[in-house]
Amino acid sequence: MFRPVRNLARRLGLRAGRCAVCSAILADGGRSLCAACAQSLPLRTGGLCPACGEMSGREADPPSLCPECRHDPPPWDELYFHGQYAGVLRGLILGYKFHNRFERNRLLAALAVAAFSARPARAPDAVVPVPLHDRRLVWRGFNQSLEIARGLARHVDRPLLVHGLTRTRNTPPQTRFGLKERQANIKGAFAADPALVKGRRLLLVDDVYTTGSTLRECARTLKRAGSKGVDVLVLARAQREPTGPL
């Protein structure tokens, strides 16, 4: 289960000699993750809804649309993710975003590639990251979704549309709100460039799917600008509201 992640991490150039997660010294210098950390990052491939990522039933079960997505499909076709937003994966993402653990970028890109490669996937025409507002970008110093999307765009050999989608309003963090408030908070917060996205099937990339409000608004914005289709990839899918920051 963990070998594809380890091999992808090696191909993406992660530092050999120490585990990229726990910094343990590795007996095999060709590895990038120790066995324990690799096993703690399982790739979820079954027992999930391929549209929204809701996890239910046995992991061995094939992907199947959940009742909610049958009744009210999201504004994208497929959602790819590596695993549940919990444990080691959650810690990796939070450390990367909020504690300057930028050396984890290549590992997270490898996890994104593994998620996209695990199920039959249509190659997109281009890759689009969920953008940050300029003020948030200055505060954080980088856009984690953009950096993850870079590695994915290289893997699928498609252009990365850095300016395909922009954030036009500096909205308060979504973690402050419930579902309805999140939807209202994010409405109209994005703009897409028709010259870049029109007529293209796009892969929209973010780090975490919580309620899906931000991704839904982004996908609708891209479709209004003329995109012929949208798929979504995130590193992690939350099953319930997390207690920490996103």
pLDDT of residue 167: 92
Packing angle, helices 105-118 and 3-11, rounded to 10: 130
pLDDT of residue 242: 40
Q: How confident is the model at residue 13 (pLDDT cuts 50, 70, 90)?
A: very low
Element (H, E) at 144: helix 144-156
pLDDT of residue 15: 47
218/224 Cα distance (integer angstroms) = 10
pLDDT at 170 over 60: yes
211-231: pLDDT as tens digits: 899 999 999 999 999 999 999
Nearest to 213 by CA among 239, 242, 244, 177: 177
pLDDT at 74 over 70: yes
168/124 Cα distance (integer angstroms) = 25
pLDDT of residue 71: 95
If you average pLDDT over residues 134-160, what whole number do you get? 88
DSSP label of 194: H
pLDDT at 21 over 70: yes
Beta bridge partners of 172: none
pLDDT of residue 244: 45
- Range of lowest pLDDT (10-14, 100-104, 217-221): 10-14
Nearest to 42 by CA among 92, 90, 88, 1: 1
If you average pLDDT over residues 64-85, what whole number do you get? 95
If you average pLDDT over residues 64-78, what whole number do you get? 95
Domains along the sequence of the chain with CATH: 1-41 (no CATH), 44-237 (3.40.50)
Looking only at the bridges linking them, the beta strands covering 229-237 and 79-84 are parallel
Q: How many CB atoms lie within 10 A of CB 211?
A: 17
C-beta of residue 194 within 8 angstroms of C-beta of residue 220: no
